[in-house]
Chains A and B, each alone.
Chain A
């Protein structure tokens, strides 16, 4: 059975945990006795039963009636196995919401019919678009509190749909729901006779499975190189998870940005039949015909393939979670694929504001919970791709004070800034050097391009 990760997001108290809890209960996904146990606990503490209590497992969450951290919840439909990520809506826990959402391939955005579109409804929509989540269903919850009014529902659909359209997000569904009452969760309800679209469960089942990047050119960020000596193991294994394409024994490969080349000798495995190729998404390992020295983080591609970019400058959309602002002029550590490199903001092009979507300029730093488009410069050239073309190689995180303080997606590569080599080596010399390194690797000729 296929599996899909779905994130449930929206403003605090708009009913995310209730929707998830009720979905679990109505699909028979709860362990026996769980519902009764939580009901008994509520009765014992003289408080009304909430479906949310099925998920808010941390002691502080139950005390304060708020989701603090994302929970992974497992449930099955006839179609698929799901991990539902119930993300917190409170602004203070935005990093937890993002941690949950970044694992998802589709999202349910919840809006309270009575309260309407809140600040976080917009912020979450914006962040989903920055995370690259393209499959979205908008659920208008608590319809019972507005007497199942079609006008209220359609008003929210119109306003929120316009907002999402500006972000380039096209929701597949708008669904009127009363989560606590179970209205339109599993099947359509008589409470909303005017609604003929899908129920929440049908909408989930209708989402497309994640696309494999196997049809694209081969790329793999090198995770590590192993040489285990135990039991006289002579193999030197180049390990990583290909992000796109497929590679086979005998294929010639280049490493970027170093430009070193070799040939795939064997495809390694454990407890499996002998294999001759490996493709996108598999945790793989290879031995090479020549013993090149390359560092983790270099990207392996098929010889001569130019789809992966090499530069020290790129344009990106980022969101910031750090308690200190993301500042121009300060050096940060970036992680792209398995590469780590230091980088600075070259220019903040525009601030992306969730409320107005106005593009504020003239900023020197990005504050917590803000998003922006900016130019980044790294201390050395790195290999990457744009997010649109190759998601795993087109996204990165920014480290500040030991923590992941921000994340971003690469929009496009810019010209290399380091032109200092021009005038030192001619193009002919550079080409000759490349030729020698490619065809006579055993000469161990050093690259003159760095």
Chain B
């Protein structure tokens, strides 16, 4: 087995453990390359099926193509999609463009929306397969297990994550006392009130993700490619905070070349993200409160 086959097998094993152990499981889908690979691995694990809903937290500041792509893909594969949003913060203009700093905006639009969507405290929407539109979700199911496409090589606090990472009732992450994980045995027993983030992609690098996309021919959103203006997105997020990079890569294999030996060989992936730059430890602070 080569390294991609090993990574795939390990991630599939983790997904199957999660599915076996959690009655109420969901998967975060940001529409980006990592969570799209995660969706593909899910279909690998369950032989074409996606046996739990995908959750998308819509900040209303996503690049518009992302939303179109999201709905099309879920309709095509008949995947249950739940959408959560902090409608109150948006209505009151409590965002970066409305004057908040970037981290406060992340906290309002992402962290709070995520926590309250998972707990069922806020209204959720789901994609209706008949009409292709979002409709109110009648279910208030609490998701105690949440799969996320976090990678250890993205950023310092993620390099220290567990595969099964417990959060307490307030969704807080206690970095100093994470439970042990030995070999391929993970923490799957829980006190009531805990919920768990499951991270099947921790051992993948950005390069591994693209190599796998190429090998499996996984469809990804076209924003990752240069369409003639010499720019493309390397990492996707909200448009006020995520900028395209200058790049001529038009295909997956050109992206791989760029990462292996080209201009991005030594440039951190999230260098286009403004919220990472506001002082040391900030993403860790966000994540302690429940940020992805």
What is the CA–CA distance of A305 and B179 in the complex, to the nearest angstrom?
37
Interface residues of B in 128-156 (CB under 8 A from A): 152-153, 155-156
Contact with A along B1-17 (1 / 0, CB 8 A): 11101101110110011
In the assembled complex, B43 has its CB within 8 A of some CB on chain A = yes
**Which of A31, A98, A235 makes the CB contact (< 8 A) with B267?**
A31
Inter-chain contact B156/A57, CB cutoff 8 Å: yes
Closest B residue, CB atoms, query A83: B203
With A74-B205, A395-B183, A403-B189 as given contacts, are A235 and B266 in contact (CB-CB < 8 Å)? Answer: no
> How many A residues, CB 8 Å from partner?
65
CB of A32 within 8 A of CB of B3, answer: no
Question: In whole angstroms, what is the CA distance A95 to B177 when docked?
Answer: 9
In the assembled complex, A99 has its CB within 8 A of some CB on chain B: yes
Does residue A10 face the partner (Cβ distance < 8 Å to B)? no
Residues in chain B near residue A228, CB distance under 8 A: 46-47, 49, 51
Chain A CB within 10 Å, residue with most, of B9, B17, B48, B203: B48
Q: Which of B9, B157, B160 contacts A282 (CB 8 A)?
A: B9
Whether a CB of chain B sits under 8 angstroms from the CB of A356 is: no
Q: A57-B159, A68-B175 are in contact. Are A223 and B17 (CB under 8 A)?
A: yes
Task: Note all chain B residues with C-beta closer than 8 A to A338.
Answer: 20
Which of B48, B182, B190 is A402 in contact with, Cβ under 8 Å?
B190
Max chain B C-beta neighbours (<10 A), residue from A33, A41, A58, A281: A58
B146-189 contact mask (Cβ, 8 Å, vs A): 1 or 0: 00000011011101101000000000000110111111110101
B49 CB to nearest A CB, Å: 4
Contact A32 B266 (CB under 8 A): yes
A72 touches B157 (CB 8 A): no
Residues in A325-348 with C-beta less than 8 Å from chain B: 333, 335, 338
Tell me whether B268 is interfacial, beta carbon within 8 Å. yes
Contact partner, B47, options A28, A30, A285, A407, Cβ 8 Å: A285
Q: How far is the CA of A33 from the CA of B40 in the complex (A)?
A: 34
A402 pairs with B159, CB closer than 8 A: no
Contact status of A224 and B182, CB under 8 A, knowing A59-B285, A233-B49:
no
- Measured between C-beta atoms, what is the minimum distance from A277 to chain B in Å? 14
Q: Are A30 and B266 in contact (CB under 8 A)?
A: yes
- Within 8 Å of chain A (Cβ to Cβ): is B62? no
Query: How would residues 98 to 115 of chain A score, 1 for a CB under 8 Å from any chain B CB and 0 otherwise?
Result: 110011000000000000
Interface size class of B (residues with CB under 8 A): 35 or more
Q: Please give, as numbers and ranges, the residues of chain B lying within 8 Å of A1 by CB-CB distance.
A: 3
Does chain A have a CB within 8 A of B58? no
Bound together, the chains give a CA A57 to CA B3 distance in angstroms of 27
**With an 8 A cutoff between CB atoms, is A91 at the interface?**
no
CB distance B78 to A230 under 8 Å?
yes
Interface string of A203-214 (1 = CB under 8 A from B): 000000000100
Q: A79-92 CB contact bits vs B (8 Å, 1 = yes)?
A: 00101000000000
Asked if residues B47 and A270 are in contact (CB atoms below 8 Å), the reply is: yes
Q: Assuming the A-B contacts A72-B202, A99-B162, are A31 and B266 also in contact, with contact meaning beta carbons closer than 8 angstroms in the complex?
A: yes
User: Is A397 in contact with B182, judged by CB distance below 8 angstroms?
Assistant: yes
B240 at interface by CB-CB < 8 Å: no
Q: Are B189 and A224 in contact (CB under 8 A)?
A: no
Distance of A271 Cα from B47 Cα, bound (Å): 9
- Contact partner of B159 (CB less than 8 A), chosen from A32, A73, A95, is A73
**A269 proximal to B (CB < 8 A):** yes
Q: Which of A378-399 contact B (CB under 8 A)?
A: 392, 395-397, 399
Residues in B with CB closer than 8 Å to A69 are 160, 175-176, 178
Best-surrounded residue of B6, B9, B179, B182 (most CB of chain A within 10 A):
B182
Partner of B5, one of A55, A271, A282, A392: A282
Give the residues in chain A near B44, CB-CB below 8 Å. 269-271, 283
B284 in contact (CB, < 8 A): yes
Bound complex: CA A169 to CA B54 (Å): 47
14 CB-based A-B contacts, threshold 8 Å? A2-B3, A3-B3, A30-B266, A31-B268, A57-B155, A71-B160, A223-B17, A224-B20, A239-B16, A270-B44, A271-B44, A282-B1, A399-B189, A407-B185
With contacts A28-B266, A392-B183 known, what are 20 further pairs, Cβ within 8 A? A2-B2, A3-B3, A32-B266, A32-B268, A58-B156, A70-B160, A72-B202, A95-B179, A212-B1, A224-B20, A237-B47, A269-B47, A270-B47, A271-B216, A281-B6, A281-B9, A283-B9, A283-B45, A403-B180, A407-B180
Residues of B within 8 A of A (CB): 1-3, 5-6, 8-10, 12-13, 16-17, 19-20, 40, 43-49, 51, 78, 152-153, 155-157, 159-160, 162, 175-176, 178-185, 187, 189-191, 202-203, 205, 216, 266-268, 271, 280-281, 284-285
